[in-house]
Structure formats: structure tokens, C-alpha cells
Structure 1
Amino acid sequence: MKSNDKDAILKTIPQKGFFGHPKGLSTLFFTEFWERFSYYGMRAILLFYMYYEVSKGGLGIDQTTANSIMAIYGSLVYMSGIIGGWIADRILGTARTVFYGGVLIMLGHVILALPLGAPALFASMAFIIIGTGLLKPNVGGMVGDLYSKTDPRRDSGFSIYYMGINMGAFISPYIVGTLGEEVNFHLGFGFAAVGMFIGLVVYVITRKKYLGLAGSYVPNPLKKEEKGRMATIIILALLVLGIIGWIGVSGGWLTVDRVIFFISILGVIIPAVYFIFMFRSPKTTKDEKSRLLAYIPLFVAAMMFWAIQEQGSTILATYANERTNLNFMGIELHASWFQSLNPLFIIIFAPIFAGLWTKLGDKQPTVSQKFSFGLIFAGLSFIVMMFPAYFNGTESLVSPLWLVLSFFLVVMGELLLSPVGLSASTKLAPAAFAAQMMSLWNLSNSSAQAINAQVVRFYTADTEVMYFGVIGGIAIVLGIILFMFSPKLKEFMKGIK
């Protein structure tokens, strides 16, 4: 998009009205607040819904399989962002893509709210995966459209938007989780649908007035001949998948475990193909190739980090429900409430970390050093979970403070690694692949969860100490190795700090 087109769009957006920021920021803030409310609320009880016995309102799925399904679900949610970005860039523009994504998410929660068993579970997952892929990456893009590239409010605007994400994620487990655990799961899922509906209402009512023409353009629209070819490819792909699915299910060889295994492999192959394609492209210069080589260890470190962090909604959620004393100082806790710890700690400590880096200036650690510290914190968050079983066995219930400590440590790691990873992805990206590099960064989480789908199968009461110890130990060792090679990686970054 040309700079004069950008200027014309900015003129249609009221530039004051939300804490000194463009009014459109309030639209996107509350849209994302309610989308995250619905997603994290649903996720806080989904695992329990899957493995609880039918007599307790669940589906009776094997607990290990349920953990694998949760991991694959999260992996596909992040993978789908690639499709959402492409649709916005080539067909709909970000504004319409966000709306359709929200509709699909709401429908997914509505389906899950209906007592229709496993078919409804997998149908809702499909809707939410596609809907989140359409909405999530494009809302962030629209925040950028509210500001000129030189607007000093830009970084602050993204910080406010990020707070909206975490506020929605913090509140939802207490509401959706409590309803799901105390009344029934379907009521909880229904309330998640209500949350997304409120977000859509806010978006529709305020969009034209506050967002102006932001997100209304299609940056790289499909040409007429491309539309027909793309439609044919999509229809054929859906037909092939439908036929394979029908034959596989009717023949009995397409099982849930095999689908999970296939997606796990896909989660590793896709980023590898991305790297090879960018590295071998004639559009990538010699210095950019060097920066890509420096980015690979960071990507691997991010995968290891997210492999631990994302187990907060699987293994640690199971731990909260099965191994934790939920009566603490006379207060009856719910297992789903622990899912609020991560966003709570981010809300509290993100401003502190931001201020720390500003104060340190040029004296702050390098990108790879921050990554190494982040990995070490993540490893420690699992190491501490060894102690309850090591000292008292796995038969007795443990204090919830162990989980609080674990979540706290991994959030310290997240604040060292996640924002820095986003920044490094933009700095180290080849000029011709700037947007795709952001998709690649998101794939670090997708790949981690795809691998987790296999790893979580090793967790049992008998292997608890070894499980936390081995994974935590690997993260710490990788963190130390990364720290040792930081000076060398800095050389490969070719002047990028």
C-alpha cells in the first residue's frame, strides 16, 4: 500500500478519544478482550470436559489422549494464522476477515455448548481453529493501521492492546471455569459464546465510526485468473480430504491417535520448509542468510520454551485437578482458576520488564542472552514441580503454592523471551519475507504444541518426577548452551542488536 493511501486512511480515523490514543484502539481492545475471554474460558474447562466420566458430565476420553488432543488443538490454532493472514492479504482485507473469524469462533462455542457428545467437540474445534486463524493475527495488524510509522504513541498503543488480551484471559477462568465446574460444562461453553458475541457487537457497532477505512483495503488482491485457479485448488483439496476422511473412518484406520501423530509431524515439517525456502531464495541477500542462520537457534529455543509454557493448560491443568489440595486456607479453589495465573503475572510484571529494558539501554542483555534466561526460567518452572512427588510421593495432595510458583517462573521466562522474539523476528527477517517471518515466529508455538502432543503421553503418576526433571533439565541445558554461543550468534546477526 502506498504512503499516500495510508495517509488517506489515517484521516478517516478519530485520532483521540481512548487514553490519548485513536478511538479505534478501544474497538480492537474490547474485541480482543472478549475473544480471549471466550477462548481462555473455554480452554480452562475443555480438558476436564474431555476426560471426566460421562456420569460427571464429561466425554470419558482417556486422560492421556485428552492431553494430546489439547496440544494438537493449540498447535492448529497457531498454524491457522497463516491461512488467516493470506485471506486478509489476498481476498477480504483485515476488517472483514476479523468479523468472519469472530462469527466462526462464536459458532464453535455454541456447538460446544450443545450436549451432542464427541462429534460436537470436534466440529467446534474446527470452527474455532479456523475462526481464530482469521481473527487473531489480523486484529493486531489493524492496531498498526491506526498509527503512522512515526507516531510516538504506536508502541504504547500495542501495550494497551496487549493488556486487553491478558485482562480477558485473566477474568474468564473465574467465570466460565466456575460455571463449568460447579454447574455443568455446557453452561460454561455457552457463556464463552456469549463473550464472543459481545465482542462482535462491540466491533460491528463501533467499527465504521472509530476505525474508518482501517483494514478495508486488500493489500495484494487476487487477479481474476488467480481466483478461478485458487477456487479449484481449494475445492479439490476439500474433496480429497473428505474422501480420505470418509474412507479412513469407515475403514477404521483413521483414528484420533493417527491424526494427532500426523499433525505432530506436520508441525515440525512446516517451519523447516519455511526456513529452507527463505534461505535458498534469490531474494535473500548474503547478510540476510547469515541472520537467518542466527535465527534458527532462537527458533529452537522458543520451541523448547513454548513446549513447557503451553503445558500449563494440559499437564499442569491435570495436576491442578488431580494432585492439588483445592482447599487452601479455608477457601475452596477450582482447578480451572489456575489458568488465570499466567495472564495475571503478565499484567503485573510486563510494565516492570519494559521499564527495566528502557533503564538499562545499551547495557541490557543481548537477544540470545534474554532467550537463554527465558529458557532457564522455563526449565526451573518444571524442576520445582519435581519436589512434591520426590519428598511426599504421588499419593498425597500438594499445596497449590507449588503451581503458583511454577506459573510465576514460566511467566518470568515468557517476559524475557516472547516480546523479544517478536522484535527479533522483525529485525532478522529478510526484506522480501518480513510478513512471513512473523508467521514463522508464531509457528514456534505451533510446533512446540505439536511435539507436546507426543510428549504428554509420557506423564503418569509413576513418571512424574522424571517427567518434570528431564524436560526442565533439557531446557536449562539448552539455555546455558545458548548463552555460551551468544557472542557467536551476535556475529551472525550482522550488526543487528
Structure 2
Amino acid sequence: MTATESTKPAQQRGFFGHPWGLATLFFTEMWERFSYYGMRVLLIFFLTAAVAEGGLGMEKGLASSIVSAYGAAIYMSALAGGWIADRLLGGQRSVFYGGVLIMAGHISMAVPGGAATIFLGLGLVILGTSLLKPNISTLVGGLYAEHDNRRDAGFTIFYMGVNLGSFAGITISGWLGQQVNYHLGFGAAAVGMALGLVQYVLGRRNLGSATAKAINPLTKDERGKVFGRMAAGLAVLVVAVVALSAAGVMSIQLVIDGISLLSILLPIGYFTVILRSPLLDDDERSRVKGYIPLFLASVMFFLIFEQAANVLNLYASERVQNTVFGMEFPASWFQSVNPVFILLFAPVVAFLWVRMGDRQPTTGRKFALALVLVGASFGVIVLAGISSDELGKVSPLWLLLVYAVQTVGELFLSPVGLSVTSKAAPKAFVSQMMALWFLSIAAGQGIAAQLVPLYGKIPEAVYFGMFAGAAVVLAVLLWISAPKIREMMRGAD
């Protein structure tokens, strides 16, 4: 989506030399990430805390599965949100309504109503994120003309808002939730999203008209068919839930299993549709096939990386010393180091690729290095166990090292993955290929939902060691296959 002459935002230079609309979107995304990460960092602690301590008293394995399934649902829901913006609401309204739903979800979680308000809140956050997250980046792109040389710098500034928001959300909500009251922490997330909405509404006039309406709106004939199918699908879902409940088999575990299965079936379906399409030429079909091993590597990476929200939070709470100079801090604060490391390491990694020029590794080998690093991060935890004190706790420096290694791996994989996805995408499936990239994150968390209950039930070294070993084995296979992948990518590597 590009700005037109009628929108004029690309001519503005009020926000660090960029359109004023970038400031609106920067702070909207910052506050949305404040709310998202502020709530997420508390979720595993709240679910597992005893009822007397203000939590739900869930078994740790089930709670970890819920957190992973929630993450998978978030990324899968973006598919629907992108479609709604393109065909119904337009990007600007989608972001606004998404923010309202997210705020409502956090308000629901802030109400001490037990499991009912928590799961209602999670559902609302999933729906809201599906509208906001995939579309706000489109709004950023709509601020610039197609060949505006400020575009990349604009997205870089925008990405800083993500990290600032996540750091602040984790720090503030984490402290309030663990040190004062969990529902107060969830309430802080709601306040953050509310602030984001206020400034979004006040600054929306700076976004121009290019993203105000749906780019491919449904026709009158299509509306009847689409809404009919939606109603039929919703009816089937309601009937299925009622039937399963009546049969006594409806459970949280069944929902988790369903999300895990869907996270695997969706990308398989997408790849099948794309590869069988007559709209692809030979080069495009070869690139999609070469992209598959990169997709699988991403699944493995995020299977490990996203355990920060559950397993590593539990590890931080139970196995890591949380005092500095005699002062105690909440275990949730360990999560805040990732955005800090991103801001510190991203310029270094970017400089490394520029300095290496044509000598830098191929995409396949960058992914292999990322897998080695994320696997090594779990290997660090195995080593840390050897140095535990008489209480079974380890120095916080070990966990900081884990996150530092993971962050470098993230920088080797995430931005590179977005780039290669855009280059490998067939002309007829540009949006679908980007959706596939996010489905790799969903699939990683969907699979993790079935594996994270093992934490605490098998020896710690075995748990972390098996993931580390699997990542390294896949990295070796990917490194060996890199020349073949590059050949299949036909210039898109």
C-alpha cells in the first residue's frame, strides 16, 4: 500500500524528518506492545499461583500449554485480520477496533472473576490482535510514496516502539502483578492500550486516506455469500461446542489440542494450495519448494524461543537468584532484557552483514546459525544446573546469557526470514507467503503446547538438552543443504 498525492503524508517531515503519521503509529504500537507483553509476562505466574495467592492454582504443565496455545492462536488469527482489513474495514478502522478489543480483553482480565474473566479476556485479546497487528505495519507503509528513501528508516523507528513498549510493559506490569496484585498488573496493560487508542484517535488525521478504506471491498453479491458462510461456520462451531459439552468431553486440553493441530494443518494447506496453483511459473514453484526447509527451521527456532513466556519464566522464578546488591526484583523482569539486547545487538548484526557484503552466509546458513544459537541457549541452562547453590538456585547471569544468545539468534533469523519471504513469494501469493512466515511462529508454539508440560516431569537437563540437541541436528542438516536451497531459490536467497 502506497500513499497517493491526495494523502500528502509523505510530504510531511515533522517526526524526526518523517510524516507525523509515523508518530501516531509509533506510539500506538508502543502502547499495544506494552499491553501485550505486560499481560503475557504475568500469565504463567497467575495461572500457576495458588488461589490463596490470587492465582488460579493450575498445574504447571497445563498452564504452560495454555500460554503456548495462546501464542499460536495470536499468530494464526492474523490471517483473518488481514482479510477483514482488505475486504471489509480498511486498515485504519481495523487498527482502531483491534485496539478497543485488546483493551476490553485486558479489562476483563483485570476483574477478579476467576477463570471465566481470564479466558474471556484472552479471547478478546486474540480477536483484537488479529485486527491490529497485521494492519498497523501496512499503515506505516502507506505513509510513504513507493520510492521514498525514508521508508526503511521509518520502519526502523517504528520497530523501536515495539521494543520500548515491551520493555516498559514487562517492567511495570510485571512488578505490579508479582509484587502487588495480578489483576492490577493486567489493569496496567488495559491502561496502556487505552493511552494508545487516545493518541491514535487524536493523530489519525495524519494517516491520510490511502489506508482509510478497504483496498478490495466485497461486492454486494459477495457480501451475501461471505456473511452466509461465516454464519454457517459460527453455527457449526457453536453446535460442536454444545455437543462436546453435553458429552462431557469439552475441556481446556481439547481446545489446546485443537489449536496445536490447526497450527500444523494450516501451513500444510497453504503450501499445498500455492504449489498446486497454475498461477506459478517454474521459477516461482522452485522458490516455494526451497522455502520449505527455511520454514521448518523457523518452526524449530520459535518452538524454543517462545518458551520464554512459560518455561523460562517458571525457571526464573524457581531456579534463579533474583536479588541484586541485596535488593529483590520480580522474576518477570528477566523477560525485559530481550528488547534491551535487541536495541544493543541489532546495529552490530546489521553492520556485520554490510561489512561482509557478498561474503556473508546464504539465507540457509544464517538460519542454521540461528538454530545453533537458540539450541546453545538451552545448552547454557544445562551447564547452569551444575553451578547451582545449596538452595538449588543459579546466578542470574546464566539466564542473562541465555537471553543474549537467543537474541543474537533472533537477529540472524527474524529479519532475514521476513526478507527472504518477500523475495521468494510468487506474484500471485505475496500476502499469503507473508502469512506463511507468521504461521511458522504459530506452528512452533502449537507444537510447544504439547511438549512444555514435560518441564518439571523429566530431569531438567534432559528437558533442555533434548531441545538443544534437536536444534543443532536440524542446523547441521540445513547447513549441508544450503547450496541446494540456494539453487532452488533461483536468485531469491
> Is 1:191 aligned to residue 188 of structure 2?
yes
Shift of 1:214: 3.6
CA contact (8 A) 1:13 1:214 kept: no
Say yes or no: does 1:35 pair with 2:48: no
Question: 1:195-274 maps to which residues of 2 (within 5 A)?
Answer: 195-208=192-205, 210-274=206-270
SS where residue 99 of structure 1 aligns? helix
Q: Which residue of 1 aligns with 2:17?
A: 20
Q: Partner of 2:448 in structure 1?
A: 452
Alignment match, 1:387: 383
Aligned to 2:55: 58
Q: For residues 184-219 of structure 1, give each alpha carbon's deviation from its aligned partner in whole angstroms, at most 9, with x where no partner exists.
A: 0011111100000000001000111x2121411311
1:293 partnered with 2:289: yes
| Structure 1 contact 52–61 (Cα < 8 Å) conserved | yes
Aligned to 2:279: 283
Q: Which residue of 2 aligns with 1:483?
A: 479
Q: Which stretch shows the higher mean deviation, 168-177 or 327-336? A: 327-336
CA distance in structure 1 between the aligned counterparts of 2:165 and 2:489, rounded to whole angstroms? 37
2:154 to 132, 136, 157: 157
Matched, 1:177 2:177: no
Moved more, 110-119 or 480-489: 480-489
* Equivalent position to 2:123, from 111, 122, 126: 126
**How many angstroms apart in 2 are the aligned matches of 1:394 and 1:478?**
37
TM-score computed with the length of structure 2 as normaliser: 0.97
> Corresponding residue for 2:111?
114
Instruction: Name the stretch that deviates more: 377-386 or 234-243.
Output: 234-243
Partner residue of 2:411? 415
Residues 466-477 of structure 1 mapped to structure 2, 5 A cutoff? 466-477=462-473
How far, CA to CA, are the matches of 2:390 and 2:470 in structure 1? 23
Write the distance in 1 (CA, Å) between the matches of 2:467 and 2:164: 30
Deviation at 1:393, TM superposition (A): 9.0
Contact 2:74 2:129 in 1 (8 A): yes
Change (3 A) 1:312 1:159: same
How far did 1:355 drift?
2.1
Amino acid in the other structure paired with 2:424: L
Q: Is the CA contact 2:298–2:440 (under 8 Å) kept in the aligned structure 1?
A: yes
CA shift digits 1:148-206 (9 cap, x unpaired): 22111111111111110011001111111101111100111111000000000010001
User: Is 2:358 the partner of 1:369?
Assistant: no
How far apart are the structure 2 equivalents of 1:181 and 1:417? 32
Distance 1:330 1:392, change over 3 A: closer
- Equivalent in the alignment of 2:427: 431
Residue 247 of structure 1 and its aligned partner are, at CA, apart by: 2.6
Aligned equivalent of 2:303, options 304, 307, 323: 307
Compare 228-237 and 18-27 and name the one that shifted more.
228-237
Is the deviation greater in 442-451 or in 462-471?
462-471
Query: 2:33, 2:310 → 1: CA distance?
Result: 18
Could you list the structure 1 runs, at least 4 aligned residues long, displaced by more than 4 angstroms after superposition.
Answer: 390-395
Write the distance in 2 (CA, Å) between the matches of 1:212 and 1:7. 9
SS in 1 for 2:4: helix
Distance 2:381 2:145 in 1: 46
2:353 & 2:322 partners in 1: Cα distance?
38
Within 5 Å, give how 1:319-358 maps onto structure 2: 319-358=315-354
Hey, what's the Cα distance between the residues in 2 that align with 1:279 and 1:461? 41
Which whole-Å CA distance do the structure 2 matches of 1:62 and 1:249 have between them?
22
Instruction: Measure, in 1, the Cα distance between the counterparts of 2:137 and 2:296.
Output: 25
Give the aligned CA root-mean-square deviation in angstroms. Answer: 1.4
CA deviation after TM superposition for structure 1 residue 490, in Å? 0.8
Letter in 1 for 2:147: T
| CA 1:352–1:392: 2 relative to 1, 3 Å | closer
1:43 maps to amino acid:
R
Identity %: 48
Deviations along 1:307-329, one digit per CA (max 9) or x if unpaired, are 11100111000101111111233
Q: What is the CA-CA distance between 1:395 and the residue it aligns to? A: 5.8
Indicate the SS of the match to 1:485: helix
Partner amino acid, structure 2, of 1:148 = A
Quick check: 1:13–1:212 contact (8 Å CA) kept in 2?
no
Partners of 1:464 and 1:321 in 2: CA distance: 15
Count of residues in correspondence between the two structures: 493
Gapped regions of structure 2 (runs ≥ 5): none
Q: Deviations over 1:353-411 (max 9, x none)?
A: 12222222222211111111111100000011112334559961111111111111111
State which drifts further: 371-380 or 477-486.
477-486
Deviation at residue 484 of structure 1 after TM alignment: 1.3
Distance 1:12 1:449 in 2: 38
Contact 2:342 2:407 (C-alpha < 8 Å) held by counterparts: yes
CA-CA distance at 1:10 after TM superposition: 4.1
Q: Which moved more, 1:455-464 or 1:422-431?
A: 455-464
TM-score, length-scaled by structure 1: 0.97
How far the C-alpha of 1:433 sits from its partner, in A, is 0.1
